[in-house]
Chain A
């Protein structure tokens, strides 16, 4: 892992990072990736990847009817900045 790679991953993950923090993550991510590199030892030809631990579980669908009531005031009580029931963010379009 290079400092540039760390900065690039931090950007992709939308995490601000000071120059001074980079070496710490560089060191730990390098060691984590080397540790998980052990997976290469496993023989995995013709093995189906497992995304979910329960065999036979299918994605359940519900009837397409509205079940939620309007609770935006309750939810927006946690928002940092709201006006007229809208979430406020810095200007996106000039």
Chain B
């Protein structure tokens, strides 16, 4: 029985028909995690005993004819989501001993659906990175090739789903942290509209950009999870009060006549010709399905990376001020006074990339530099958001590559932060404008997966998911399994 390759709909049907139990499914996936963890390092914590208990409870519910479409299905949470009674580290030494006293809203919602948590996924420290190499718990390996990175910051979540260790892993996207690892690992990554999924209990990095979302193998699976995960939360002050559509029912929307904008700026120098070839082939598939391709240009889009690297560090320096060595987290030994306690606790608890961003943020917010950097970046952010608005007056969705290249080698970009930051050149724009965006597998180059990015208007989740679903019915890239993980 190959339970690990089944879709969410197949798993739900099998559980309901008693072809297999949640206990059997959970045990099988825990065994896969145990077998592949030494190679991948995708997990920070594995919660075997509590997973088996939750699975037994789900089986009880299903036996009485109760439960929903996700009951008894296992998942993995990115270790940025607070999980009550379970260590929540954010992949930082700072939170190595932190046991969350409550559940994030995302965690609580999926728990209420009867989903079974297998454990917590590795990630870049505080979600700051594009290769999963900044984790205090070591780098994650790409299932397609262990010498390569899985992308980041949700690299552990992406590796888990690509290696078929769980059908779904939660993730977060501040500048591309769902889409970029999805592209590099050959899976489907979905970042909803800003405010669509609650940020409560999701450890904050840059609050005006952070958004929780999904890593799954298909758009259909993403729709099933997002339907349960999205929605208004009074405990998140930027959560949007707006009903959640039935994303699963919306999957079959017809594609004919869809106007697809091709972003000129995404096809300029820097894009690997092989990635471009895969993306152009995918666009041809859409044309074949009746979509119209229209060229559009967002002249200020190339400034999205510099704008982001002012706004995000500024918000990060403010958010991470809460780690003071007093209330929770790492505390330096034998502090000589309060200042020494703060400084050494933070200096020892944070890794180099986190410190670099805190310092960048502190600098751009400091007296005399605020206008030149922070205010200027916020203005450029407005220009970019306005250009997206203008593009969406002409087209329904925008498409292009998710990343400039396929997965790269561990260590290849760690010496120069700018080289690393430019991995997110195509993904950051959607975060600055708060738009929903996703990445789906659209081919291979040198045996490595390539991602197609789809960006939509605010709250156009259904349009994106149905467009991706239409493509995944025509192609089988999303069903490809890395060798050794069949």
A interface residues (Cβ-Cβ under 8 A, vs B): 6, 9-17, 24-25, 28-29, 31-33, 35-42, 44, 47-54, 57, 59-60, 62, 71, 74-75, 77-81, 87, 89-92
Contact = CB atoms under 8 A, between A and B. Distances in A.
Looking at chain A's contact residues, the main secondary structure is loop
A12 B362 contact: yes
Those 10 A-B pairs whose CB atoms lie nearest each other, nearest first:
A53-B434, A16-B347, A49-B378, A80-B331, A50-B382, A44-B379, A78-B328, A16-B343, A13-B362, A47-B379
A9 B385 contact: no
Given A33-B363, A47-B383, A75 B101 contact: yes
B14 interface: no
26 contacts: A9-B362, A12-B366, A14-B339, A14-B342, A14-B343, A28-B417, A33-B363, A36-B306, A38-B303, A39-B307, A44-B376, A48-B382, A49-B379, A50-B381, A51-B378, A53-B194, A53-B434, A54-B195, A54-B238, A75-B101, A77-B99, A80-B326, A81-B331, A87-B326, A90-B341, A91-B337
A57 B326 contact: no
A54 B434 contact: yes
A42 B309 CA distance: 15
A73 to B, nearest CB: 10
Interface in B377-395: 377-383, 385
Nearest to A59: B237
B363 A35 contact: no
A29 B313 CA distance: 12
Contact of B303 (A25, A39, A50, A91): A39
Interface of B: 97-99, 101, 193-195, 208-209, 234, 237-238, 240, 300, 303, 305-307, 309-310, 317, 321, 324-329, 331, 335-344, 346-348, 350, 352, 355-356, 358-360, 362-364, 366, 373, 375-383, 385, 416-418, 421, 431-435, 458
B482 to A, nearest CB: 34
Given A44-B383, A80-B325, A87-B327, A17 B417 contact: no
A17 B435 CA distance: 38
B417 A32 contact: yes
A32 B360 contact: yes
Contacts of B383: 42, 44, 47
A59 B239 CA distance: 10
